[in-house]
Structure formats: C-alpha cells, structure tokens
Amino acid sequence: MSLVIVFKLLGSLALLMYGMKAMSEALQKMAGPQLRHVLGAMTTNRFTGALTGMFVTAAVQSSTATTVMTVSFVNAGLLTLAQAISVIMGANIGTTLTAWIMSAGMSFDITSAVYPAFLIGIVLIYQKKHRYVGDFLFGLSFLLLGLGTLRMTGAEMNLGENQALLDFFSSFDPDSFLTTLVFLILGGVLTFCVQSSAAVMAITMILCSSGALPIYQGIALVMGENIGTTITSNLAALSANAQARRAAFAHMFFNIFGVIWILFVFRPFIDAVCGFVGYDVDMTREAVSAEAYLANSAKLTFVLAAFHTCFNVSNTLILIWFIPQIERFVCWVIKPKTQDEEEDFRLNFITSGIMKTPELSVLEAHKEIEAFSDRMQRMFSMVRELLTLSASATGKKKDNQETEFNKLYSRIEKYESISDNMELEIANYLDQVSDAHLSDETKAKIRSMLREISELESIGDSCFNMARTISRKYQGKEDHFNEQQYAHLHQMMELTDNALSLMNQLMKGRKESYDVNRTFNTENEINNYRNQLKQQNIIDVNNHEYTYAVGTIYMDLVNECEKLGDYVVNVVEARMGTRQRDN
C-alpha cells in the first residue's frame, strides 16, 4: 500500500468527520432556541420523549448534541431523569440516519454532485440572511466528498484481493463466539480512540463492501461502536453532578444491554436483516463470478445501516417499558456525593471533555448563570438571618449564639469566594466559546452573559459588605439598633429579596413572558424607601434616639441594599437585552 493511498484514506476520513461536525453545527444554528423548547416541551411521557429524541437527533445529526441538551435540562429541573432516559433512547434511533447517508454515499458515485453544492453554499454564506443554509451545504458537501473519496480509495486499495488482509480476517473462526467478542471490543476501542463512530462506521463499510471483512465480524464492529460512543460522555460526566452522571450511565447501560441480548440471537437476527436487504449470506467468492460476488458485497453497506437501525429500534421497544426500573438502577449505582455540594465550588453544567458545538456551550453557560443567580439569593437570605441573630444578642452574648453567628458569617464569606470563582470560570469558558464561528444571536448572548456574571458577582460583594457591617456591629462596643431600626432594615431587605426573586424568575423562564416593569417598580420602591430612611435617620440622630456611629452603620446597610437593587436591575436589563440605565 503506497503512502499516497494512506494519506488519501486518512484525509477522506478527516473530511468526513469535519463535514459531520459542520453540518451538525449549521443545523443547530438554523434551529436556534426552538430546538431546545421542543425538547423541553414534547416529553410528556416515555413515548413522546423517545420520538422527540429521535427527531431532534435526526435533525441535528448528532446524538451527542441531543444528550448534552437533555442532561442540561435534567440539571435545570426541566426534565426528570426518566424523561431524559426516553429522549436518549430516541436519540439512539435518530443517529442511525447517519449510517443510511453514509451507505448511500458508499454505494453511488456522488463526488460530481458536491461541486455545485459547494458553489451554492459559498454564495449563500456571503449572503448574511442565508449563511447558515450555506454552512449546512458546505458541511454536507464535505461529508459526501469524504465518502466518495473513501469509496474510490477503497477501490484503489483492492482490499478484496489483498491476500495478507484476507488471510488475517480468515484466521478468525467465523463461527466462534470469541471472534464476535474480539471484533466487538475492537469496534469499541477504535470508536473511543477516534472519537467518532461515523469514521469507524465508514471504515467498516469499506472493508465489508470490498469483500475483505465478513458480515458477521463487520456487524460485531458496529455493535462495539455503539458502546465506544458512550464511553466519552461517561468520562466527561465524571466532573459533573450526580444527575448528569446518571443520564450518561443510562446511555451506556442502554447500549450494553442491547449488545448482550443481541449476542443471544446474533446469527438469526443478522440473517433476517440480510434477507430484508437482499444480501446472500451464503454466497462465496469461489462459487460465483467476481462481478456477482462484488455486486452482492456492495449491498453490505445497506446491511450495516439496516442492522444499526433495527438494533436500536428493537432495543428501544424492549427497554422503553422498563424506564422506571432503569432509573432506579442508575440511581442505585451512582449515588450523590456525601459532601454538601452547595458549599463546594463546582460548575454543575459546564463540563470539559465532550466535543460540543458553540450553541450548546452557550446553553450550558446559560444554565450555570441561572445557578449563579440562585446562589446569590441564598447568600442574601443568609445575610438576613445574620441580622436576625445579631438582633437577638442583647446584653451578654451566649457562647452557643456566638458560635452560630460566626459559623453563619463564615458561610457567607465562603459564598463570596465562590461568587468570585464562578465569575472567573464562566467568563473564561465564554471567552473560549467566543473564539468559534458564531451566529450574531449567539455573539449577542455571550455579551449579555458576561455583563450578567459581572453584576451577579457585584451582588455577592454587596451581600458580603452587609455581612461585614453586621459582624462589625455585633463584635463592637456600639449600642444595638433599636426596634424601629431593625423593623426598617427587615422591610428594606424584604424589598431587596423581592427584587432578587423577580430576577431569578426571569433567569429561569423565558424573557418574552417577563414583565420588566415589575423589576423597575421594585427598584423605585427601594430607592424611595432608602430616601425616606435617610431623612428619618437625620431626624433621629438629632433627637438623640441613637448615636451618630449607630446611625452610620444603619445607613451603610440601607445603602448597600439599594446598591444591590441596582445590580439586580442591571442583570435584568442584560438578560432582556435593554440599554443600561443610569442608577
């Protein structure tokens, strides 16, 4: 085998993989957020969940994309784990469309048709309105060009007449169960190494259609690909939370279970598929002419695609009735970590290791910012609790009360550190995503997200400033606030908490259904109440209701609440895409 042919083989595989990736990214950009809303809305039961997973995966040509979106929805509480399992089952069926596209590309000479598609694609790319369609045509053209080049390269290599290769495959006993296991493991390892089941499927099709690889070993490779493609997602999920690990493990369990039961009916199942396609299993090279043998072998690409579809459809029809049991099993295998994850800094939605499109990466960052926002409101709730603890400290402090106060203050301090880290990690992630080829809508989303995390971190700073002020007051020698001051502070904090609740309502919902005036009205209430308390404080100090030092600390807390309300408005404006107002 010459070096030129080797490079043509590897280059055509690279074209194939790049075409798949470009086509999938373009389809996701064209679908936009509607794809995610469909996935979230059409999973009312296990059957609609499976159908949704199948159609979405067939549409975007990426089961990984569907799986990542599904896991994100589980983490966000939009889907239950059981619904996610049904979507993943459907995704396994949807991804078989890729095999049919490849079998058609291997069976017919389509390289001449891709050049007009390239021409139309480049014209559409330069037309801003239709550039995603152009990106899709480019991706599809690269995919078909890669398949056509693979087909021609396979013919040049004369694999069916390569005696060394034929001797190697004939050294395995075709009737041995051990041979099936060896090729099954080989398919899994190759898929894991190449990180593309499509590439391994293409190699399998070349070997089978050339007559070099017997059909039973070829299908064993395809079964191994089904397992190998789940290993990557499971490794990447190791850094995610328990629900993400469970969803990834359910995907692996689904494919492993299917491989196990198919091994018991291996020959009859394959013979039935071959009969459906019209492939003669018993035809040998010696019994017929070379032309008849190669014509029969050419049908093997369709046999592989048909097996891939029949395998996943059959497996889904069997397991879809046992989704509650699968859910209990994966929950039993993967238990949540005993440590309090809320107190531990970890990004739950942003993970590394899986090849994702920029659109999906933005979705993950969106979910992470939702969690960031929710965490900041919990931090503010701790500040309110700290104020309540300080109010109960009259006279001599009790040891257990002081311990509780210090423990709560330490938690707030830790949350402030977490907010700093979250801002930095999410910003770095978005910076990496922004290096990719993005749609204008996605670029605008990233700009808004960077502004959101900056303002959310400022909310954390305000909470910590209030906690430090309360602690200074608690530990110091100044007089305590009087009952009226505590009542005013609790009222101000209640208004601020309402603003945070409205902010989180927006972050977790759709901005089209959010009334932004509610946030602005709450901010006006906070501003007016701050002005009212400021005037009252001057009067009370002049009337010697409390000392000037106590009044200063009191107004520090009031002003910090007002600043926090401004940060909330900035977050809401960033999410809604409106211009920042002067505070």
Tell me the two tokens of residue 421.
Answer: 């880290």
Full pLDDT tens readout for the chain, 583 residues? 567 777 877 787 787 778 777 776 776 666 655 655 665 555 567 787 788 778 777 766 666 666 666 766 665 555 678 888 888 888 888 878 877 877 776 666 666 777 888 888 888 888 777 778 888 888 878 877 877 777 677 666 666 566 666 676 777 777 778 888 888 888 888 877 776 677 777 778 777 777 777 888 888 888 888 888 777 667 766 666 677 778 888 888 988 998 999 888 888 888 888 888 887 777 766 667 767 767 777 777 888 888 888 988 999 999 889 888 998 998 888 877 654 444 455 566 665 544 456 666 777 788 889 889 999 999 999 999 998 888 775 544 556 778 888 889 988 988 888 888 888 888 888 888 877 667 677 788 888 999 999 999 999 999 999 999 998 888 776 667 888 999 999 999 999 999 999 999 888 877 777 888 889 999 999 999 999 999 999 999 999 888 888 899 999 999 999 999 999 999 999 988 765 454 4
Q: How far apart are CA 457 and CA 94, in angstroms?
A: 41
Name the one residue in this structure whose structure tokens are 């490779």: 221
Q: How far apart are CA 147 and CA 203, in angstroms?
A: 10
**The three-state (H, E, C) secondary structure of 366-383, written as one string:** HHHHHHHHHHHHHHHHHH
Neighbours of 448 (CB within 10 A): 17
pLDDT at res. 182:
86
Q: 408: helix, coil or strand?
A: helix
Whether 367 and 358 have beta carbons less than 8 Å apart is answered as: no
Neighbours of 137 (CB within 10 A): 25
pLDDT at res. 25:
72
Neighbouring C-alpha atoms within 13 Å toward the C-beta of 23: 21
Q: How far is CA 85 from CA 320, 353, 521, in A?
A: 9, 21, 43
How many helices (H) and strands (E) the chain has is answered by: 23, 0
With CA atoms as reference, report the closest residue to 445 among 578, 577, 357, 571.
577
Q: How far apart are CA 225 and CA 169, in angstroms?
A: 19
Q: 546: helix, coil or strand?
A: coil
- Angle value at C-alpha 70, between 64 and 72, nearest 5 degrees: 105
Whether 122 and 142 have beta carbons less than 8 Å apart is answered as: no
Q: How far is CA 51 from CA 32, 214, 314, in A?
A: 20, 34, 14
pLDDT at res. 266:
84
With CA atoms as reference, report the closest residue to 104 among 57, 151, 64, 50.
151
Neighbours of 339 (CB within 10 A): 8
Tell me the two tokens of residue 433.
Answer: 């995503």
Neighbours of 123 (CB within 10 A): 12
Domain 358-576 carries which CATH code? 1.20.58.220
Q: How far is CA 209 from CA 102, 286, 301, 547, in A?
A: 12, 17, 6, 92
For 132, residues 6+ apart whose C-beta sits below 8 A from its C-beta are 26, 29, 30, 439
> Which uninterrupted H or E stretch holds 508?
helix 483-508
Q: How far apart are CA 366 and CA 446, in angstroms?
A: 9
Q: Could you read off the pLDDT of 127-141 as tens digits, one per residue?
A: 777 778 888 888 878
- Residue type, position 199, single letter: A
Q: 197: helix, coil or strand?
A: helix
pLDDT at res. 529:
93
* Number of residues in the chain: 583
Q: How far apart are CA 250 and CA 259, in angstroms?
A: 14
pTM: 0.62
Q: 212: helix, coil or strand?
A: coil
Residue range(s) in the chain whose domain bears CATH number 1.20.58.220: 358-576
Q: How far is CA 578 from CA 201, 442, 479, 505, 581, in A?
A: 48, 16, 45, 17, 9
Neighbouring C-alpha atoms within 13 Å toward the C-beta of 184: 18
- Residue type, position 191, single letter: T
Q: How far apart are CA 422 and CA 449, in angstroms?
A: 13
Q: 457: helix, coil or strand?
A: helix
Name the one residue in this structure whose structure tokens are 């957020």: 33
Farthest-apart Cα atoms in the chain, separation:
113
